[in-house]
Structure 1
Amino acid sequence: MTTTQLTARATATSAATTSTSTSSPTPSTIASGPVRALLAAGAVATPLWTVAAVTQALTRDGFDLTRHPFSMLANGSLGWIQIINFLVVGALFIAAAAGLRRALHGGGGGIWVPRLVRVVGVGMVAAGVFVADPGDGFPAGTPAGRPESMSWHGTLHLVAGSVTFFALIAACLVLGRRFGRAADRRSAVACRAAAVAVVLGNGWAMSGGPAGSLTLAVGVIAGMGCVSWVAARYRRGL
């Protein structure tokens, strides 16, 4: 075989290899698609929750965000909207946990963050299944003030909410530590501030402070927003 023939054969083989590699995605490319979808679920979770809850708070008769927590929106004839909000957003956070487990690659909180976010999602689903008790004038016609006793589903809702808050605080703190170790000071401060917001908002509400339900809502949205922001950030990196 002549030198010219050998060169032609090598060129053809190289072209075929290039064509095959171009048309066939690598395993990492194949894997990134589902991970991006899971992280996208986490990215949209907080905006969806916020828009749905705030819209109801502004339009439901008798609801006052300074006195009534978002959970109470699950009562009344339109309560199904908030129940669905809990269930859908909880499922989105569970999906986000699966995406973060693959995106963080372990180490530096890579193990605990997905676990904690999964607990947040499960807690929100449980909070939707076990509806909070009505009270303090909502829904319209309910006697003013706190109810004299708490129902079994109201008790379970409180438990689910508490577990969700603790998991959310822990997730934000672990993320803050991860970013701190990576010398990303701004991200570390933002995540830690979100954890503090959840603590202060919940503490103020539990102590009966003025507009406690509003501070609770702001704190929880800040914590949820931190998780959604991190999910969106890692999604962009894939």
Structure 2
Amino acid sequence: MNGVNSLSTATGSKQSLALRLSNWAGVIAPILFIFVFSLDGFVKPDYSVMSQPISYLEIGWNGWIQSINFIVLGLLLMLFALGFFQGMNLLIKRTPLLASTALLLLVGLTFINDGVFVPAAPGESQNVAHSVLHSIGFEVIFFALPLAYLIIGWQLRKTAGRRVYGWYSIIASVITIIPALFVLISSFSAPSTQASPSAGLINRIFVVEALVWYVVMGIRLLTTRSAK
């Protein structure tokens, strides 16, 4: 009997550790991503943080740094999505939880896509297919994330002790989707035309805003588990 209890305890400890690691992934991923693209943008020759989007860091000199940055972000966000599903299993109804988790996994997978398929430089005729796949990836991200946030927020707003996070998720959904079309059109859909002088800054502001949700929810899940 003691052996069975010990095995059960060990299994529970491993599951608890895996869940905590997945929650930490949501906290670390955006911070690491933002740090890397900020530093890379600062040192990259002939790159303008103000006028060029984050994706243009994948082009030319040391472009592999941002490509790997996208891929690592995607993998960590997918890990967080699995932990989120487990952590919210008793707080969100089954169907909305499955739908929102699937969207979060899709977002992570799409960031990986954007690390694999590099956008074409302005005026460049090569790698057009890669550029199109990259642009489609960002379109998926900026519409899947708000939908996931909305579903999650709509459920949590009715849960005692989680209402603040529910309304925050709904607000994050609205803020993320309103500028999405502007960011996509100005940054990616017409690379051969003159970009807005502030396109890069706007791109960064709303990418950061969208990813902050992961940090907030990751910390909430970690503190909830610590309080148990």
Question: Following the alignment from structure 2 to structure 1, what is the Cα–Cα distance between the partners of residues 6 and 140?
Answer: 48
Q: 1:203 deviation in Å?
A: 2.6
> Match for 2:18 among 22, 27, 34?
34
TM-score (norm 2): 0.81
Aligned to 1:110, the other structure's residue is in SS state: helix
Structure 1 residues 83 and 110: CA distance shift in structure 2, 3 A: same
What is the 5 A alignment of 1:109-120? 109-120=96-107
For 1:157-168, what aligned pairs fall within 5 Å after superposition? Answer: 157-168=134-145
Cα distance in 1 for residues equivalent to 2:43 and 2:199? 20
Partner SS, residue 204 of structure 1: helix
Give, in angstroms, the shift of residue 210 of structure 1.
5.7
Tell me, yes or no, if structure 1 residue 73 matches structure 2 residue 57.
yes
CA drift at 1:113: 2.5
User: Taking structure 1 as the reference length, what is the TM-score of the superposition?
Assistant: 0.78
1:151 pairs with 2:128: yes
Alignment of 1:87 onto 2:71: yes
Instruction: Give the aligned partner of residue 60 of structure 1.
Output: 44
Conserved 8 A contact 1:97-1:117: yes
Q: Secondary structure at the match of 1:112?
A: helix
Listed one character per residue, the Cα deviations across residues 152-191 of structure 1 (whole Å, up to 9, x for unaligned) are 1000101111112111111221222122111544323322
Aligned partner of 1:201 in structure 2 is 179
CA contact (8 A) 2:70 2:115 kept: yes
Q: Which runs of 5+ in 2 are unaligned?
A: 187-195
| Alpha-carbon displacement from aligned partner over 1:56-91 (angstroms, at most 9, x marks no partner) | 222222222332110010011210110010011100
In the alignment, is residue 221 of structure 1 matched against residue 208 of structure 2? Answer: yes
1:175 aligned to which of 136, 152, 155: 152
Structure 2 residue 129 is the aligned partner of structure 1 residue 186: no
Query: Identity rate of aligned residues, in percent?
Result: 23
Structure 2 letter corresponding to 1:32: S
Larger Rg: 1
Q: Which amino acid letter does the alignment assign opposite residue 75 of structure 2?
A: A
Instruction: Give, in whole Å, the separation in 2 of the partners of 1:96 and 1:201.
Output: 25
Partner secondary structure for residue 50 of structure 1: helix
Q: How many residues align?
A: 212
* Alpha-carbon spacing, 1:227–1:57, altered in 2? closer, same or farther (3 Å): same
- Structure having greater relative contact order (Cα 8 Å, sep ≥ 6): 2
Stretch moving more, 100-109 or 79-88: 100-109
SS of alignment partner, residue 62 of structure 1: coil
How far apart, CA to CA, are the structure 1 residues paired with 2:202 and 2:179?
A: 5
Amino acid at match of 2:50: T
Rounded Cα–Cα distance in structure 2 between residues aligned with 1:163 and 1:24 = 41
RMSD: 2.7
